[in-house]
Structures are given as C-alpha cells and as structure tokens.
Structure 1
Amino acid sequence: MKTYKIDIQGMTCTGCEEHVAEALKNIGAQNIDVSYQRGEAWFELPNDIDVESAKRAIDEANYQPGKVEEVEAQETVVLGEEGDYDFIIIGSGGAAFSAAIKAVEYGAKVAMIERGTVGGTCVNIGCVPSKTLLRAGEMNRMAKTNPFMGVHTFATDVELAALVKQKNELVSELRKQKYIDLISEYGFELIKGEAKFVNEKMIEVDGKRLTAKRFLIAAGAAPSIPNIPGLDEVDYLTSTTILELKELPKRLTVIGSGYVGMELGQLFHNLGSEVTLMQRGNRLLKEYDPEISDVVTQMLIEQGIQLVTGATFERVEQQGEIKKVYVEVDGKKKVIESEQLLIATGRKPNTESLNLQAAHVEVGSRGEVVIDEYLRTTNPRIYAAGDVTMGPQFVYAAAYQGGIAADNAIGGMNRKLNLEVVPAVTFTTPSIATVGLTEQQAKEKGIQVKTAVLPLNAVPRAIVNRETTGVFKLIADEKTLKVLGVHVVAENAGDVIYAATLAVKFGLTVEELQETMAPYLTMAEGLKLVALTVDKDVSKLSCCAG
C-alpha cells in the first residue's frame, strides 16, 4: 500500500467530503481522510492501482484534483516490547503534556523528564502569573484614571508583596490541577532530573540510563540576554525574576519592547513605577503593519510610558542600587537611570545541556531544534515541539504541536504541522491581537489586496467606554474578497481575534462578515464594522445598520 495526499478544489461542506470519500472508495482506496476545510484528501492505494485513477474519480465527482504527493510511510511502533519506554518526553509544559496524554491514549508506556518545576513556562513563569498581575495593574490604573464624571475613585500605594503572594497561590493551584494531578490521572511516569542523550536510542538522567522507541524534545525556552558591555556585572531582572519582586521600584528601565517588554513594562507602570521602554529599532512592533505599531506607540505615550527607540546600547553600569544604561539616540548620548533593569530581548531554546549531537539531532543558528513538517528532527526516532523549535511562542501552539508529535511518533500517522493561522495576543491595555497575513506579507506573496482601517473611535463599545485609542485593520484578497488577516488594538482584542481566526481559517469573505449580525455595543462588532469599511463610510450609518 502507498499513502497519498491530494489537493482538491471545489469542496465546501461535509457533504462534499462524503462524495469525495465515496469516489475514492469505489476505486479501492482505503483509510480515507477528506477535509473540505484543508482542501485535501489522504488515502492509501494498493500498489497495483495507479494514483491517476484517484484523480479521475475525484474529477468525475465534479471536484478539481490538484497536486498529488506520495507520503512517506511511518515506521510502525510496536508498543510494550523491548526497551524501558515507548515514548520519553523531555520537558513538562504544554507540548509535553499534550503529547503524553495522547500517547497514553494510544497505549504507550510514557515517561516525562523534568529538571525543574512541572508545568513549563506558561503556568509557572509566563501566561498565568503575568496575566493575573496585569489584571491587578489594570484595576489600579482605572482607579487612578477613571474617565467618568461623578464617579470618584482613588488608589493607595500598591503592596506588591501581598499581590505576588496571591499570584503564587494561584500558580500553585493551577499547576496542581492542570499538570501534576494529570500525571496520575493518565498514568505516565514523571522522572525528575537533567536529561541528556547518550545515543539515538538512549538518554541519561542524573546518571541513570533509559531507552525508548521514540523521543520528544519539548524542553521549552528561557530568556535570552544580549551582549551589552557591563551587563554581566549588573543585578538585572528577567521576565522570570521580575514577577517575584516584593517591592515596587520607583523607576524601571526595560531593554526590549516586544510583547514581553511591553506587557511587563505597562504592568509596572500601572502599579505605580516610572517606566522607560528601550529598543534598537526605530519602530515598535516592526513586524506589524504601520497602523498597528503607530497606535500602540500613541497608546504608550498617552499613558505616560517613556519610549526610547533607535537606541545604540553602549554600556550598563550599577552604582549602589541604581542601574545606568548608556545609549546613543540620533547622535546624542543619554543615560537612563533606574532602581530596576528588566532585560526583555527575546528567548532562546533550552538545548545546550541535551547533548543533541550524540543523537544526530541538528540545531539551527539560535540553538533551536530543526524539525520537518511532521515535527521530526534530523533523527527520525526523535521529535520536537513547542518553544524549543522557536516556532510561535504560545502555549496553545505548543500543545497543538505536542499532539501532532504523538500522533506521528506513536500513532504512526503522517499529520503535517500547519501554522498558517495562529492568533497572537499581547495583553497590554488596550490589548493587541492579530491573525493571518499583514498587508506587507500578503504583498510579498504576490497577492493583490484590499484593506480597511477602522479607528477605535468609530466603534460604539469604545465610545461608551470612553477609551478610543486603538484600531481595527482587515486585509482581504482583492479578487475574491476572502479575509486574509485581521489586526486589532482594543480592549478585549484577544476575544475578538478568535472570531477573526475562524474567518481566516475557513475562508470567509468580506461580504459574509458584512452580512453577519454582530451584537451591538460589543468590541466584536468592530470586526463587522471594519468589514463594512471596505466599501462604506461607517460614520454615515446609523447604529447597527449594515
């Protein structure tokens, strides 16, 4: 038997899937999987049946067959025979747990290796702790800057130690519920210690050697520290250590203004610190369209955060408790002083201690594990998923990858990684959310686009909230009007972007968004309004009028 994947045009529903599957079945195909959403079919054919017959069958069913690809057959894993384990997973974050649960469901004997705290970045030092503190910061800011006349609110000094204690209790509770308790629930084994490869089939954990039929590297990533003279002699903070501060600094300098720098910088600004955000580039969020980066810059300046862009970092010094950052901006030298210095210049994969060369696993220029579209490394027995591959740095993307890795490594499937439609959210106030292509990315792909930009002061929810700094932007294919990308800066942008994700993933058109009823006085209505902006002036429409 040979396995094939064929692209198919013309399928629009599950009924189309059934028609294609029946046509393939009639010519002798087996193990048929048809998806109208992906526009493809997977199936097996006996060696004596030519794949051209499959193309003819699809054509006769009134669909348009396209590119055909013979899929390399996966080596079947025989579970429960020789070796210590069927599947060893290095790491215990979102990718690791997703893979472990799925592998156990296949009947595999699974071990998970963790050198630190179970749960990985998200629950321990990333999403959960930062977002609960961000919410506290938002409440403190609103108490100080309430925009409503006649409503009198105030805020006293923040007790950071109490806030951090409450945060740690939440993290501990969620770590137990969502990670630790699941180990016994699913019956895989947790082994504490540092893992390193001995060869292609064996790892060593603190001196003990273990074998497995398949491995998954899901070791995550850690803060990356730039090479700035004097920095290694300074008591600086990272995204991990800043969340454990017990006293609020009067002044905080942040080197790096990506999503981590902006979130944590705004958090401490909202709690009461004077914050300076610094970066080498001249434009914030340079990978986003200008309308997004411009409004984010405006937002930060309006809130009183100091921005230093286009900076050349000369050196860093510490005098007593004061950290000094020496920079040159537009030919002028500056010194930025603060009690605390946060380094937020990206992340690096945790691969240094794994001895990957012993297992013939290649890494890229940043130390990331190199994988193919099936999440296999250069050693087909070893897979990798999550932040260690330097893909999208989101726990939901890592969990998705972990599931695919287990399907392929243990289930013998040939699932391909598809990261074309990954929503991203930066949890500032207002938040920044994006999915799909930017205008520039679409043009680089040779796509003629039609765009619409809607300032937030045209969205009724923002008007009644009295917070109108923000924007909606929509990118569509000029010919088909299919939605290619949506980018939002607004309160609850992260909630809005899920609807946009569905629109991009399933190929909805601008007209279909225009014809959809959106609840009035929700931020999600902005998605419909920006779709209307493609061919209408929404300022001349009455409330809810499409």
Structure 2
Amino acid sequence: MTRKHEEPEKYDLMVIGAGMAGIAAATKCASQGWRVAIVDSLPYGGTCALRGCDPKKILRRGAEILEAAHLMGDKGIGEGGLSVNWAQLMKHKHGFTDGVPASMEDGLKTHGVQTLHGTAVFTGPTEVEVSGVGYHATKILIATGATPVSLDFPGHEHLIDSTAFLNLESLPPRVLFVGGGFVSFEFAHIAARAGSRPIIIDRGSRPLKGFDPDLVDLLVRRGAECGVDVQSGTSMTGVEETPAGYQVHLQQQGVASMIEVDLVVHGAGRVPDLSRLDLEAGGVAYGPGGIDVSADLQSVTNSAVYAAGDAADTEGMPLTPVAVLEAKVAASNILKSGNAVPDYAGTPTAVFTIPELVRVGVLEDEAQARGMDIEVRYTDTSRWFSQYRVGETAGAVKILVDRSSDRIVGAHLFGHGVAELVNTISLAMKYGLTARELRSSPAVYPSVGSDLGSML
C-alpha cells in the first residue's frame, strides 16, 4: 500500500517498461517538456538489447566464422584448430550487454526522465505503486514486453529460458529446444556450430509457421547437414532430472519415446508480460494477445492508458522495430491528444539461422486466401555467384507480385546475406515502387544486393 500521509508524486506520463519501446516514448515526451517517469523491475534496455536480438547476434558471429571456414574447407581455407571458445565468446557478448543498462538510464536522465526501479502495480485508473511508493500520472504507457509462456508438463521447472541460454558459462554437448520458432532455430544453429548436438522438438506439423513453407523445408534440410535435428509432430510429456542430465519423455504419432540430454531450453513461445500489473485495479481490459487497444493504441476501457509492443493486442508483429514504432505513435497521440495509427507496411522479419531466412509481406497461401491475383516468382539461388563465392549450396527466393499493379506484396528469401537484401524490398513495398522500377535500379556488383534484379 502507498505510505500514509504522503501525497503521490505526480507526472504527466508514467512509462511502465524500460525496453526500447518504453525508452523511445519516454524520451519523446520528455523532450516536449513533459514530466516523465519510467519504471522497470529489470535492468534498463529490454529484451532486445540485453536478452534477445543483440546478444544472440553476437554469439551467432562465432558460429558464422566456423561455418564459413567449413564451407571453404576444400577450397583452400584450412580449418585446423578452429573452434568456438564458448567462455570467451560469452565474455565478448557481456562486453556489449553489461554496459547497456547504465547507458540507457543515463540517456533518460539527460532528457530529464525520472528513472525508477521495481514492479509497477496499478492502484487506480491513473495511480501506480512502485515498491510501496505511490505515483499519479495523467497518462500511462504500458510497454512491458513478453515473457515465456507457461508450460504444464511434469518437470517443466527443469527447463531454462532464452535469457539463461544467453548467459550459459559453458555449452553442454546435448541440448534440446522445445518449440519450433525463432528462439529454438537460432539458438540451435549457434549450438551446432559451437560443437553441441541440438534437437528441436515441435508439436506442430511444420516449424516456423510464419515463414514460407517451401523455404522452411530448405532450411530444415540445410540445418540437418550441420547437425540440427528437427522432430516435428512431437510433444513433450515430461522431464526428469538424472545424475547425468535429463530424461525427456516424448510422444510422436501416439508412440512414446525417451531421450537423454544435458540441457532443455524453452523456445515454445512468449505471451504479454502483464500478470504483475493488476490491470483490473486500473480498469484496463486485456486478453491473451495483450491489452485491448484501439487502432491509436489507447486502452479501450481506460482513456488515460496506452500500450505498445508485445504488451498491446495489435496487428503488428512481435519485433523490436514494431514495438518502437508503436511507442512513438502512442507518444505522439499522448502529446497531441491525436489518433494517429501505426503503419506496419513493409515490415520485414528474419530468422538468423545460418543461412538466414527472411520474410516481408504476405505468404503465398495468405494471398490466395484473400483472392489476390499474384504472380509467384520462385528462383533457386543455390548456384548463384553470391552463394558460390562463400561455398554455400542452399538458397532460394519466392517473390509475390500483384499482376495489376506490378508491386511486390510478399518476398521470402533463404540464403547467405538475404537479411540485408530484404531491407531494399521492404522500402520498395512501403513506398510503392514496382518490380519493374526495382529491376531498373543499378546496384553495386557483385553483391547480394545486385541479385535483386534477377530475382524479379
């Protein structure tokens, strides 16, 4: 409870969640002279900078180098003695992540934002309590992100989450990943190149459901070549700890089995992190997808509250750039009492496996379900120069073009360097460039970017 006889400190805006979205909104409003506070129970910086995108990409660099040497092993590049020193690679990661919280907090303070630490709990429509201290805010933005979904099979407590994996002091030889999404695939591809034998267990018929199935099949086959074992249609029924590690009990098509591993990692999805906020006390409606908001990101039940990122139930993908976009739109609406809405057009997403798999726009089956008249331009790029140069033998692209407008409505790419190439396609989609206009645009040659004209 709020301390008696103390007036709650008052702010124009209270931001709950100090990830990239919350920080962007807090900074924007403070720069306009608003009195702003931000609070988080975890170190400032959020999942992306501390427990997700950035540290994962640093660890991937070690895997990239090993794989690059392996691909060129019979082409004049010696692999002898090359290996991943996990402890040193992790130290390299910490060299980036350890300084983030203080840097983020210092930046906020420079803009005049009051930084608070603790768990925020609603005590009224515009009242929040943090560590027993009450605060009043004219407006409140919730940007608390997501947390791993709860699992209910026996022994679920033995699993570690993605945060713990990114802080492992050593990498064991046998690692099992639960779930067929981003986390499992990206971590498994790192682990395989670092000397582990990873297994991905996915209860669905195919993994990575948000990506083109034909390209996912290519990725699964390519991963198998480097030791990533994907078992689809498989459910986990229990985990038992043993002196040697863990016994994992599985079921596939009604047949029970058991495997022994050293580590089990939760990669089975995430849900909005809202459970500690007591949203009922704030009159804030929410559901499984997050806080119920209108198109302008305002709570449908409490006009003082806005939400952005994974905490909000919107059509935006669960990506940091989308969360930041939503937070900036919400901040603009808060400042101006406006009703602007986020523009999600041309938002790309990637699975940073080796090689990577990317998507922007609609999938082929989505286009068909919407009755769109599209031309599907599929190209096997496995023998193209960009792949040959680095020794890679897997690659393909599928680009969906609207026949009437000649505009790209979906692009799906698998191969070396395509995570950079997709940004050009994203820009073209967002601003209405046609496939013909893209083909006529010169590019640096030879580069992955120069492949785009031939893909179209």
> What TM-score range do you get, normalising by the shorter chain?
over 0.9
For the Cα contact (< 8 Å) 1:262–1:277, is it kept in 2? yes
Equivalent residues in 2 for 1:96-135, closer than 5 Å: 96-135=22-61
Change (3 A) 1:165 1:109: same
Match of 1:349 among 267, 272, 277: 272
Cα distance in 1 for partners of 2:169, 2:144 equals 29
For the Cα contact (< 8 Å) 1:218–1:387, is it kept in 2? yes
The reply to whether residue 462 of structure 1 matches residue 417 of structure 2 is no
More off after superposition, 399-408 vs 312-321: 312-321
Q: Secondary structure at the match of 1:410?
A: helix
Amino acid at match of 1:410: L
Amino acid at match of 2:393: T
Change (3 A) 1:285 1:94: same
Aligned residue number for residue 338 of structure 1: 261
Equivalent residues in 2 for 1:305-324, closer than 5 Å: 305-324=228-247
Aligned residue number for residue 378 of structure 2: 453
Change (3 A) 1:356 1:410: same
Change (3 A) 1:160 1:465: closer
The reply to whether residue 386 of structure 1 matches residue 309 of structure 2 is yes
Change (3 A) 1:293 1:124: same
Structure 1, unaligned runs of 5 or more: 1-81, 532-546
Q: Secondary structure at the match of 2:292?
A: coil
Cα distance in 2 for partners of 1:208, 1:121 equals 26
For the Cα contact (< 8 Å) 1:484–1:504, is it kept in 2? yes
**Displacement of 1:458 after TM fit?**
4.6
The reply to whether residue 198 of structure 1 matches residue 120 of structure 2 is no
**Displacement of 1:364 after TM fit?**
1.0
Aligned residue number for residue 84 of structure 1: 10
Match of 2:141 among 203, 206, 216: 216
Q: Secondary structure at the match of 1:326?
A: strand
Cα distance in 2 for partners of 1:155, 1:175 equals 37
More off after superposition, 96-105 vs 329-338: 329-338
Equivalent residues in 2 for 1:38-437, closer than 5 Å: 84-156=10-82, 158-177=84-103, 179-232=104-157, 234=158, 236-366=159-289, 368-378=290-300, 379-389=302-312, 391-437=316-362
Change (3 A) 1:314 1:120: same
**Displacement of 1:386 after TM fit?**
1.2
CA deviation string 1:74-93 (max 9, x = no partner): xxxxxxxx971100000100
For the Cα contact (< 8 Å) 1:423–1:497, is it kept in 2? yes
For the Cα contact (< 8 Å) 2:63–2:193, is it kept in 1? yes
Aligned residue number for residue 444 of structure 1: 369
Amino acid at match of 2:107: L
Q: Secondary structure at the match of 1:244?
A: coil
CA deviation string 1:378-435 (max 9, x = no partner): 2111000112126422211111111111100122222112223211011111111111
CA deviation string 1:457-502 (max 9, x = no partner): 2532112222130211100112222110111111222111110101
For the Cα contact (< 8 Å) 2:386–2:416, is it kept in 1? no
More off after superposition, 413-422 vs 439-448: 413-422
Cα distance in 2 for partners of 1:214, 1:432 equals 40
Cα distance in 1 for partners of 2:426, 2:47 equals 25
Aligned residue number for residue 420 of structure 2: 495
For the Cα contact (< 8 Å) 1:253–1:336, is it kept in 2? no
Cα distance in 2 for partners of 1:187, 1:126 equals 28
CA deviation string 1:173-232 (max 9, x = no partner): 34444x122112211110111111111111111111110110000111112232223323
CA deviation string 1:255-296 (max 9, x = no partner): 112111101111111111011111011212233222221211
Amino acid at match of 1:525: S
Normalised by the size of structure 1, how large is the TM-score?
0.78
For the Cα contact (< 8 Å) 2:172–2:262, is it kept in 1? yes
Q: Secondary structure at the match of 2:410?
A: strand
Change (3 A) 1:393 1:116: same
Q: Secondary structure at the match of 1:254?
A: strand
Cα distance in 1 for partners of 2:420, 2:101 equals 24
Alignment length (residue pairs): 446
For the Cα contact (< 8 Å) 1:195–1:354, is it kept in 2? yes
Match of 2:449 among 519, 524, 527: 524
**Displacement of 1:98 after TM fit?**
0.8
More off after superposition, 277-286 vs 511-520: 511-520
Cα distance in 1 for partners of 2:73, 2:400 equals 33
For the Cα contact (< 8 Å) 2:201–2:235, is it kept in 1? no
Structure 2, unaligned runs of 5 or more: 1-7
For the Cα contact (< 8 Å) 1:260–1:344, is it kept in 2? yes
For the Cα contact (< 8 Å) 2:62–2:84, is it kept in 1? no
Cα distance in 2 for partners of 1:197, 1:527 equals 51
Normalised by the size of structure 2, how large is the TM-score?
0.93
Q: Secondary structure at the match of 2:98?
A: helix
Cα distance in 1 for partners of 2:116, 2:391 equals 53
Q: Provide the aligned C-alpha RMSD in A.
A: 1.8
Q: Secondary structure at the match of 1:140?
A: helix
Where do 4+ consecutive residues of structure 1 move more than 6 Å?
Answer: none
**Displacement of 1:333 after TM fit?**
2.9
Aligned residue number for residue 5 of structure 2: none
Q: Secondary structure at the match of 1:323?
A: strand
**Displacement of 1:156 after TM fit?**
4.9
Amino acid at match of 1:375: L
CA deviation string 1:422-455 (max 9, x = no partner): 1101111111111111111112222111110111
Q: Secondary structure at the match of 2:44?
A: coil
